[in-house]
A and B are shown apart, each in its own frame.
Chain A
Amino acid sequence: MIRFAWKSLWLEKTRLALSTGGIALAILVILLIEGVFAGVEEQATAYIDKGKADLFVMQEGVANLHMASSFLPPAIENGINDIEGVKKAVGITYSNTTAEIGGNRIFSYVIGFDPQETIGGPWKKVKGTQDISPDEVVLDKIIAAQNGVGLGDEIKVMGRSFKIAGLSQDTFSIVSSITFLRKATVAELNQRPNSINYVLVETEAGSDPRSVARRIEKRFKVNAMTQEEFSQSDRLMIRKMGIDIILAMSFISLVIGLAVIGMTLYTATLDRFRDYGVLKAVGASRFQLYTTVAVQSLVTALLGFVAGLLLAYLSKFAVTAIFPELLIVLPIRAVIEAFVAILIISVLATIIPVRLIEAVDPMVVFEGA
């Protein structure tokens, strides 16, 4: 019977192609929207996730980078460096502001870093240099391209002009891109020349970042968060700020996509109704019928899933080539979720029509063709 199931699938190539195609498109939409969502989140917290810092120390009561302002006394940097388990603590200055390029204003996290340090600055190789002087800036590559500026051009940050000395990668975000200046420059622009905003901590190999954080909090009146905690907290904040809409879209696309898949499989099964009626008349047991229907649905669903996955990866590259600012991440988790969902749907889409077949009017086999 498995053979019948298999052969009857392949015999009708158009029908198989249509069902597989429908499922593939549904999977594509589900994965892409989920991928855009994951991409936006990843971009938004790239500074926290991609740098080498294991801990982030900020003013007490503050728990975010996004839409937050934290001030710390500069001396705390040395104090933290003395704590057990800390390999290196580096202060950064920060402002959540806009940059002016040509006539355009662009939302940006402005990070003031120390070019001599290995943490706090751009984490991926910069075109030009990241060893900037106080009147130079490292700008995101995509922002530069979008606004038609390049190395040597001038942009304004908080009213002051800077020359683009470096172009950084992976620092773009739909929410807010990252612009790098010297640490002291940002402090001046913030009009708090004697403070820093966050301290980034690299912990000793083998020490637990969480307990180092507890030790820092014990010594100073600050909030110290691990990389994951800080990233998580920012993601939550961003969702509250409006990515909720993308999340809702992603959920809606999931529901619609699954419905499309379910209906595709259901229709494909109903199309073979007569064959099942014949099998039933000849004497196939309920189990044999279920097996036949299940094999057909599952094979169709799996083919559709694989095709959809391939399409999703292909369009990921295509989309990124056309819209470099759009990061699409296809996390394994999303792929597995889609897979489990499609398995459940195909089982449902199998059971429901088989229930109908069980009640099939035997006259179906007696009707003239």
Chain B
Amino acid sequence: MQNEKTAVPVLELKEVTKTYGTGRAAVKAVEGVSLSIAAGEVVVIMGPSGSGKTTMLSISGALLSPTSGSIWVAGQEINRLGTRELSKTRLRHIGFVFQSFNLLPSLTAIENVMVPMTLARVPKREARKRAENLLSELGLGERLTHYPSELSGGEKQRVAVGRSVANKPQLILADEPTGNLDSRSGHFVAELLRNIAKEQGKGIVIVSHDMRIVDIADRVLWLEDGKLREETGDSFATDPVCKMRVQIADAAGFHDYKNERYYFDSLKCLKQFSEEPEKYLKGGPVESGM
């Protein structure tokens, strides 16, 4: 565990605003967002569809320039850089994981992981070796020469994770990394990302709708209408019956029992709980939120 938090945040957004279009057609996708991610930290950004999550992530990843505000990646202000430096920053300091994997279909698993290293002119032999090690660590040692079309969704996403860390970036940005996966592979990928953050001291930002991913987060941020607010413990709770994490504002209902308020994902769970509360509270009252 090299979890030393350096003084310099791996990602810092200061008052970032992004407006698409102009005049009457203007859409303020992100408004006055400030954010700082430390090394080794996993931050999950949640929010409804259209709230500006992808926009914010693209700006953080030097793929999109903001209308105003500044972005710092690994201590360098990137919104002043030209295209050439921007691609260099993406290549060396940022790793991306996408919902739709975005592997290159013509390349094998190992070649896909080698792509960023090839782009960074890492000698081929070394790149191959590093890619091989990475994939073995990701449990894909037997899948090195498989093409993306021959891999399952979870395997593809693991290859994508391998590719994102190939050039040892300090920052990893993931947009809905579990969005196309079943819950088991989704959980596996989420755990992988967390381990990478903790063991390699990388800052990871995950954008997701998926409540289950909150489990791996050090911090959950809520984006709504382009504005960011930090989740406090009381905005989330775990349904004691179906064990689903629920957003308090969206809960189907609640039940007060022994000075504790419990929130439910569905009325069915609420009903079951109210009939036999003790049955569901064997492990003691469920802690709420993070």
Contact = CB atoms under 8 A, between A and B. Distances in A.
Decide whether A and B are members of one complex.
yes
Interface of A: 1, 3-4, 7-12, 274-275, 278-286, 288, 358, 362-363, 365-369
B99 interface: yes
A366 B99 contact: yes
Interface string B195-206: 000000000000
Given A281-B63, A282-B163, A4 B180 contact: no
A282 B90 contact: yes
Given A8-B106, A12-B106, A282 B96 contact: yes
Nearest to A282: B116
A363 B57 CA distance: 10
A7 B89 CA distance: 27
A1 B118 contact: yes
Nearest to A9: B106
B99 A11 contact: no
Given A281-B96, A286-B83, A368 B105 contact: no
Given A279-B104, A366-B99, 7 more contacts: A4-B111, A282-B91, A283-B88, A283-B116, A284-B87, A288-B119, A369-B100
A9 B223 CA distance: 42
11 contacts: A4-B106, A7-B111, A8-B104, A8-B107, A278-B102, A278-B103, A283-B120, A285-B84, A285-B119, A365-B98, A369-B100
Contacts of A365: 63, 96, 98, 102
A10 to B, nearest CB: 8
A283 B92 contact: yes
B43 interface: no
B44 interface: no
Interface residues of B, number: 39
B65 to A, nearest CB: 10
B175 interface: yes
Interface string B65-80: 0000000000000000
Interface string B255-290: 000000000000000000000000000000000000
A365 B98 CA distance: 7
Contacts of A11: 105-106, 147
Given A362-B64, A368-B179, A283 B98 contact: no
Contacts, number: 95
Interface string B114-129: 0110111000000000
Contacts of A362: 58, 61, 63-64
Question: Which 5 pairs between the two chains have the least Cβ-Cβ distance?
Answer: A283-B91, A362-B63, A8-B106, A369-B100, A283-B90
B247 interface: no
B54 interface: yes
B145 to A, nearest CB: 12
Interface in B115-151: 115-116, 118-120, 147
B101 interface: yes
B102 A283 contact: no
B175 to A, nearest CB: 5
B188 to A, nearest CB: 20
B173 to A, nearest CB: 10
Contacts of B116: 282-283
B119 A282 contact: yes
A288 B87 CA distance: 11
A278 B87 contact: no
Contact of B104 (A4, A366, A369): A4
Nearest to A277: B102
Contacts of B92: 283
A369 B107 contact: no
A356 to B, nearest CB: 15
A128 B57 CA distance: 88
Contacts of B101: 369
A285 B96 CA distance: 16
Nearest to B86: A283
Contacts of B119: 1, 279, 282-285, 288
A366 B83 contact: no
A99 to B, nearest CB: 65
A363 B176 CA distance: 13
Given A283-B116, A362-B64, A363-B54, A368 B87 contact: no
A368 B99 contact: yes
B121 to A, nearest CB: 10
A284 to B, nearest CB: 5
Nearest to A5: B106
A4 B119 CA distance: 11
Contacts of B94: 283
B20 to A, nearest CB: 10
A369 B149 CA distance: 13
Contacts of B111: 3-4, 7
A11 to B, nearest CB: 4
A369 B179 CA distance: 11
B88 A366 contact: no
Nearest to A285: B87
Contacts of A358: 83
Contacts of A9: 106
Nearest to B54: A366
A4 B180 CA distance: 26
